[in-house]
Amino acid sequence: MLNSANNNFVQHTVTVSTEGNMNGYNRKSPQKRRYDMPKYAVPPKKKAGKERVPQPKNTVAMLNELRHGLIYKLESQTGPVHAPLFTISVEVDGQKYMGQGRSKKVARIEAAATALRSFIQFKDGAVLSPLKPAGNLDFTSDEHLENGIENVSIEQLVELIQTLMLPEMNSNLTSLEQPTLRPQIFCMSHNANKNTIAVDGQKKVPDKGPVMLLYELFNDVNFECMNIDGAQNNCRFKMTVTINDKKFDGTGPSKKLAKNAAAKAALASLCNISYSPMMAPQKNAPLPIDDKSSSMELPQIHADTIGRLVLEKFMEVIKGQEAYSRRKVLAGIVMTENMNFCEAKVISVSTGTKCVSGEHMSVNGAVLNDSHAEIVSRRCLLKYLYAQLDLQCNQATAYQSIFVRNTDGQYPYKLKSGVHFHLYINTAPCGDARIFSPHENDTGVDKHPNRKARGQLRTKIESGEGTIPVKSSDGIQTWDGVLQGQRLLTMSCSDKIARWNIVGIQGSLLSSIIEPVYLHSIVLGSLLHPEHMYRAVCGRIEKSIQGLPPPYHLNKPRLALVTSAEPRNQAKAPNFGINWTIGDTELEVVNSLTGRTIGGQVSRITKQAFFEKFGFLMKNLPGMPTRKVNKDYGETKADVKDYQTAKQELFSAFKREDLGSWLKKPIEQDQFGLVE
């Protein structure tokens, strides 16, 4: 018997070894045995009438499909230990719903059911509450007007919602407002944007990606790669998505990112759903909630329109001079009336990233000191404001002006009601707004809000890029010091935008004629970090600014990021910049290092040019209290008392916050008069 067992063991060993050698293996393979069945196994036949029926979802699962990321809280536990009564709440769209039960699970289901009942509504607001089985519901009857919503059992509610969520809508839904979204979103189609509202009332970015969400919301979604733009050695893909015969474009460095951008544009336009960083929950960020809006965010569809208009205008004005299309930073200003973006006008377009070299400073205001794109665009806006005031000099053209006579104020003129200006920059402005890691995961929260680099005033370096913090000094630069080799320093774009949000964008000269003009919004093409951007443009001085003469105030512009982000350009920045203002027949190209045009001429947006326009207005503009301009440029600016008071208060606010001293140019730059 022992020998027989040994023989069987030997035979089994030989068999396994042989099989291993046949398959190219020299060792045992214990897992081999489990695959000895036929290659294509025949599945067992299902018994008739025993097919598995999908289990119906409970109210918690349904609510989670409609609102993601909900949190259920145990409010209380009452009753004896052997028979407890649990009360659980769930907060949906800022509204709390309660449920009770003998177990936490039952209480959770009741809370979800209470929340779901609030979603099922007719377009006239009447609540739907059937008492009959949902399979035979007549949605056109008036029975829902007679029954209270509490009469619907959880089973009926689940069956009702499942009916609404079927791929084929019930034919009796004709009396309901037919949704353009898929049926599973029907219950909340009366407010498609509700699922993007956090419990604290602030919007949040949807949990799902834009492409996935778009496919869930719409049946007919078609993506197409239109063309590939390889300008500036950067490969750019353009995707177009078509939904219900409407087309939306998106661009990106890859097809995937371009597809995401197109989906974001479609969601913003059709559903008011935004993926902007401004939508992320701000746990510790100091973004305010003012009286007019619950957020600092400009609607995404408006931001995309602003970005598109500036880019299109740039491509239009650069035609014929493509040699100057090379750029790192592009900026522009768009004007709207009554927020009508269908008739928005591009006021200015500019490029540039450099400042004038100290040796080219001018004693008669004939050079551009700062050729950064956003600063140049603002100077182009000044040129436009002067032109609009020129229209007031002639009674026949006064009605065309964006300004009107101000009969009840200390300023002769003011903007027409509803006129707004929007600044677009293809990247974050230099200085405090971009001193952060572009790959921070927690885009809404600064882990180091108290570090010394936060909020500091910073200066640009002549003939170079980047900024450095100002030193704790009296903020004085001297003419002879710069000529002897000291670097000419210019305040960063972030600091200048913060200044505009106190004293306005109209400049000191025009401040004696018009009320302060403020930016309504700032749209970025890339690198928008909500907390850093807000701090840079207005947040760092909002607690310390005081004593501003009315109507000067701290302006808080809306912020936004376009859906098709600008790529990071690694090419070396050119030493030139372009500028164009509405009404110009051609663009102007300026050598950033000399501050003059490439032909050596004086630019049309210099201090000298504006002082001459100001002199003309003082002599010809109706309603001016004085006509004399007999002082030099610097003294004329100093005479605008309210403007100077607001500016000094700005400088004092930075000092009180220990953020440094504003660095001024040598005073000799402003000591020139009008040309006779």
* Residue numbers annotated as active site: 374
Q: Which two tokens stand for residue 215?
A: 């496919």
- 111/104 Cα distance (integer angstroms): 10
- 71/186 Cα distance (integer angstroms): 23
Query: How far are the Cα atoms of 69, 91, 155, 161, 188 from residue 58, in angstroms, in the given order?
Result: 17, 18, 9, 10, 18
- 523/525 Cα distance (integer angstroms): 7
- 394/399 Cα distance (integer angstroms): 10
Q: What DSSP line would sit under 605-628, residue for residue? A: TSHHHHHHHHHHHHHH-TT-S---
- 229/52 Cα distance (integer angstroms): 53
Closest by CA to 584, choosing from 236, 290, 318, 289, is: 318
Indicate the helix (H) or strand (E) that contains 403: strand 403-405
- 526/261 Cα distance (integer angstroms): 13
Q: What DSSP line would sit under 176-195, residue for residue? A: SPPPSS-GGGGGGGGGTTGG
CB atoms within 10 A of CB 163: 19
The count of C-alpha atoms lying within 13 angstroms of the C-alpha of 238, restricted to the half-sphere facing its C-beta, is 9
78 and 85 in contact (C-beta within 8 Å)?
Answer: yes
- 514/404 Cα distance (integer angstroms): 10
Beta bridge partners of 97: 90
**Beta strand extents in 102-252 (DSSP E only):** 221-229, 236-243, 246-252
